[in-house]
Amino acid sequence: MEDLMHTAREGMNQLSRQVRDAGYVVLLTDPQGVTVDFVNNEAHDKELRHAGLYVGACWSEEVEGTCAVGVCSIERAPITVHHDEHFRSPNTTLTCSSAPVFGPGGDLLAVLDASALYSPHDKRSQHLVLQMVSQTARMVEDAYFLRQHRHHCVLHLSESRALLDVQVSLLMALDESGRVMAANSRARQCLGAHRDHPLAHALTCMGADIGHVLGLDMPALVTQAHRAKGDAFEVRHVASARRYFAKLTHPTQPRVNRVLANHAQAATVGTDLQALHVLAGTDSLMMSNVLKASRVMNKGISVLLHGETGTGKEMFAQAMHQCSARKAQSFIALNCAAIPESLIESELFGYADGAFTGARAKGVKGKIQQADGGTLFLDEIGDMPLALQTRLLRVLAEGEVMPLGAEVSAKVDVQVICASHRKLLSMVEEGHFRQDLYFRLSGIVIELPALRERQDLGALIEQVLHAQTRAQSRVFIPTITPEACDLLKHYAWPGNIRELKNVLRTAVALCERNLIEPRHLPRELQCVAGAPLLPPRLASGEPLASCTALSGQPASSMPESALPEKSAQLLAHLRQERWNVSEVARQLGVSRSTIYRRMAREGISAPI
């Protein structure tokens, strides 16, 4: 308690200077409500002692009944108890505002209180005092935290870059391996597990690896801090995807500093996870994938990427290579589905001089040897012929490759990353893929989500739009209209990120006035959730009034009984409200753009 009292004293003096002239005194109690320190107001010393405001007095609920210190100790939250809210009648002239002071482990250490003998009758007059007491309690808590963990690394986090240096928000003490040793109350509140998050069991703040909390392990944090050169760097909370700005302060303890130096040295040879984090965005599954990838990196573990076509499997593999210790060496990719079966063997294993008719005189190194020291990426591994699967298995097991026609094998050291959109386990059961090779390749399986499943689709659209704008050397980035944005967000994207890039590349080229509208998007996008495509003339840009329903006449001129149920309901609403789209949208609880889309899709147009 003495350490805390020493730390708290300056905060108590500062608070006293702010409230003293209004008749307040400041006291600090232990968790049981016993006053252990007190900043007196000598002008009212006798009255204060009579009211129980002195060192040694007990303000627990058991002794005094309802009072600010007692309630705060139980509720563990700031509170004001004003006048006759006190249980004992001698206390009903008092107004008391208390706030808890928590320890680094989350335990209640003390209660800070500001009390006055007399105050205005209206309790609202105490609101500002309660805020001042709460703020001082947090300052004391943070100062005590930093003092107790001066021999640990401390991560400072804030949602504001500008305020990080002057207003500490979240604090976490880390040991040399990156485990969270302690956290202040705001860090525990903001960074604790989200129960509905798929990684909730691993995301409790206290005792967790920092990589599970922020997606950056200790070497990566040290690297980011080193690169920032004292400035704040950006991190994201894995569970909530919330952005924070961070600074890492190092301890004075030599042993820990040596460990940090080792982390920094290791980081310079390839643990910068920036390339992976760019791909992850704020999607929780992708952030989890980045965490997995960072854990197995440089451990000699084979990686199998699984996902639909166009989900960015090769981009993820390249990012892993760029973040690894092998980044200075080659990244060699081979698409097993793009090369004829008769050529894939020589492409993969190479061949020696005179191996076959037409072979080059000096032979050719295969992809495996080209990747020696680096990374070999085998895309669509499920399309590799069974005979070659056996040879590949030997390379992985023995670390040697035998080129076609060669008599001596060559040693190779490669990191293998494979990818497939097929379910390889099903292929194993059907006899189309070797089981032993599957288990050799799938040291860890990383599932890449389809674009339609991404939680950060809107941000991805913006990111791709910026990239395509730069690629076309345009000065200004086009704006996507709300209608076009809705189409982009609700489309199923069977081609995933690859299709998104193509769509936005074309839209950027077609748009005028720096405005991307629905007419700049492919016809297949101009339907939502499986609805029929727009009539051809609408897709070509003709006015709505010229569009017709399936019967060939405008749907708005047809009887409601002749239309599909949903079209009939929409038409009935529009007619009832005299074609006031805003009123119909309000009644149906949707946006005006949604009504316009449905009208266009179903061939409904307002009478001219």
Q: How confident is the model at residue 549 (pLDDT cuts 50, 70, 90)?
A: very low
pLDDT single digits (tens) 356-413? 555 555 678 889 999 999 999 999 999 988 888 988 998 888 889 888 877 788 899 9
| pLDDT at 543 > cutoff 80 | no
| pLDDT at 542 > cutoff 50 | no
Q: How confident is the model at residue 201 (pLDDT cuts 50, 70, 90)?
A: very low
Half-sphere exposure of 548 (CA within 13 A, CB side): 4
| pLDDT at 502 > cutoff 90 | yes
Percentage, residues of the chain above pLDDT 70: 83
pLDDT single digits (tens) 15-38? 999 888 888 999 999 999 999 998
Q: Are β-strands 415-420 and 375-379 bridged in parallel, bridged antiparallel, or unpaired?
A: parallel
Mean pLDDT along residues 504-525: 90
Mean of the per-residue pLDDT values for the chain? 80
Lowest mean pLDDT among 90-104, 363-377, 414-428, 593-607: 593-607
pLDDT for res 148: 86
The two tokens of residue 543 are 């006015």
Mean pLDDT along residues 429-444: 93
pLDDT for res 379: 93
User: Any idea what the Cα angle at residue 62 is, between residues 58 and 68, rounded to 5°?
Assistant: 65
Residue 547 to residue 555: CA distance in whole angstroms:
9
* pTM as predicted: 0.49
Residue 393 zone, left/alpha/beta (φ > 0; ψ -120 to 50; rest): alpha
pLDDT for res 557: 46
Question: What are the chain's domains?
Answer: 1-148 (3.30.450.40), 150-249 (3.30.450), 273-447 (3.40.50.300), 451-527 (1.10.8.60), 566-602 (1.10.10)
pLDDT for res 532: 39
pLDDT for res 331: 95
What order of strands is seen across the sheet that includes strand 180-183? 180-183, 170-174, 153-158, 243-249, 233-236
Q: How far apart are the first and last CA of the chain?
A: 82
pLDDT for res 225: 78
Q: How confident is the model at residue 355 (pLDDT cuts 50, 70, 90)?
A: low
Whole-angstrom Cα Rg for the chain: 33
Q: Which residue has the higher pLDDT, 258 or 324?
A: 324
pLDDT for res 262: 46
| pLDDT at 266 > cutoff 50 | no
Lowest mean pLDDT among 132-146, 281-295, 468-482: 281-295
Question: Which of the listed ranges 94-98, 168-172, 604-608 does the model predict with the highest average pLDDT?
Answer: 94-98
Mean pLDDT along residues 285-308: 88
List phi, psi (to 5°) of 365.
-75, 135
**Strand segments (E) across 169-293:** 170-174, 180-183, 233-236, 243-249
| pLDDT at 230 > cutoff 80 | no
